[in-house]
Amino acid sequence: MVHAGHTPILNIMLGLTTRFSTGVFLVAAVSCVWSQGLATPGKEQTAARLKFVEKLIEHSSAARQVKASTNPDAKARHAQARVLYAKAVSAYHSEDYTNAADLLNQALRTMFAAVRMADRDKVLAEKRERDFQNRLGSVNALTDAHNRVSEEKGAGAANSELRQWVDRKVAQAHRLREAGKPVEGRSALDEAYVAIKVAIEALRGGDTLVRALNFATKQEEYQYEVNRNDTHRMLVDVLLREKMEGSDAIKTMVQRFIDNAAGTRNKAEELAGKGEYDEAVKTMEQSTKDILRAIRSAGIYIPG
C-alpha cells in the first residue's frame, strides 16, 4: 500500500514541472518526499514515481530547456536519463519495484545534471549576447564622438574611410552573431572599438602647442609622447592588418615606415635615459610622425 500522504504531494509536484525552467527545486522536493516513503515501494507508489519522472524527462519546461540547448553534455545526460527511465519501466513490469525505484532515482539525478548543464549553457549565451550589445553600444558612441572631433579638427572628409572600415567591421560582427558565432562577432566589434578609440586619441593629440602648455616638466611631456607613440602603433596593428594581409606592396611600404619609427624611438629612449628630455621629446615626435606616414601610406588619413 502507498502511504496516504504521498499521492497529493506527488500530484502537486507533477504540476510544478510545467512551471519551473530548472530542476533544482523539483529534485530537492522529490528526494525529500521519496526518502520518507516505505522501505519497500509498492506498485502504486512506483507507478506514481514513473509518471512523475516521465513527465520531468519528456514534457516539463526543464525537458524543453534541455532539448533546446546546444550543450552536447546536457544532451548526453538527457539521453542517459531516458535509458534509465526505460529500465525502470521494465523493472516495474517485472514487479521489481525496489530496482525500479533505484533506477528512477538515478534517472532523476541524471536529468538534474542535464538541466544544470543546459542552465549554464543558457546563462553563457545570455552573457555573450549582453557583451555583444554592450560593445556595440560602445562602438556606436565612439563613432559619434569621432564624427564630432573630426568636424572640430576639419578632418571629416579625410576620415570617411576610417568610418567606412568601422562600419564594415560592425556589419561583419552582426553576420557572425547571426551565424551562431557571438564570440567571433564580439572580437570584430573589439577591433572596431580599438580602431575608433585610437583614432579619436590621434585626432585630439594633434595640437602640440596646446598640449605643451599642460606639462610641468619636459620629462612629463616625454612620457606623454611615449604614450602617444604607443597609441599610434596600436592603430597600425588594428587598422592596417587587413590591408597589409591583402597587399604585399602596402605591407612593404608600411613596414618601412614602422621600422624607421622603431629606430627613432630607440634613439628617443636613449636620450631620455641620459636625462636629455628636450631632445627626447622631439625625437619621439618624429617616431610618431613616421607611424602616421605608415597609416597614411595605406590610404587612411589621421591628422597629427
Give the CB-side neighbour count of residue 193, counting CA atoms within 13 A.
16
Contact between 150 and 203 (Cβ < 8 Å)? yes
Q: How many helices (H) and strands (E) does the chain have?
A: 13, 0
The verdict on residue 112 lying in a domain is: yes
CB 272 within 8 A of CB 220: no
* Domain match, 106 and 11 both: yes
> Span 170-187, mean pLDDT?
90
Which band of pLDDT confidence, cut at 50, 70 and 90, is reported for residue 190?
A: confident
274 CB contacts (<8 Å, ≥6 apart)? none
More confident residue, 216 or 132: 132
User: In this predicted structure, what is the pLDDT of residue 90?
Assistant: 92
Q: What is the 3-state secondary structure (H, E, C) of 189-251?
A: HHHHHHHHHHHHHHHHCCCHHHHHCCCCCHHHHHHHHHHHHHHHHHHHHHHCHHHHHHCHHHH
* Residue 72 placed within a domain: yes
The total number of structural domains that make up the chain: 2
Comparing C-alpha atoms, which of 48, 50, 52, 72 is closest to residue 62?
52
Distance between CA atoms of residues 103 and 93, nearest Å: 13
> Higher-confidence residue: 37 or 136?
136
Cell numbers linked to 68: 533546446
Structure confidence by residue, pLDDT tens digits, 214-254: 677 888 888 888 888 887 888 787 778 778 888 888 999 99
Pairwise pLDDT comparison (70 vs 157), residue with the higher score: 70
Does 41 reside within a domain? Answer: yes
Q: Is the pLDDT of residue 135 over 50?
A: yes
pLDDT tens digits, 204-220: 655 443 444 467 788 88
Beta strands in the chain (DSSP E): none
Choose one of 88, 122, 156: the last residue of a domain.
122
* 95-109, 140-154, 262-276, 281-295: range with lowest mean pLDDT: 140-154
Containing domain of residue 224, as a range? 207-304
Q: Which residue has the higher pLDDT, 299 or 67?
A: 67
132/282 Cα distance (integer angstroms): 41
- Cα dihedral value 251, 253, 258, 264, nearest 10: 160
Residue 24 predicted with pLDDT over 50: no
The residue among 122, 144, 169 that closes a domain is 122
CA 103 → CA 8, 108, 304, distances in Å?
Answer: 23, 9, 74
Q: Which of 122, 155, 179 is the last residue of a domain?
A: 122
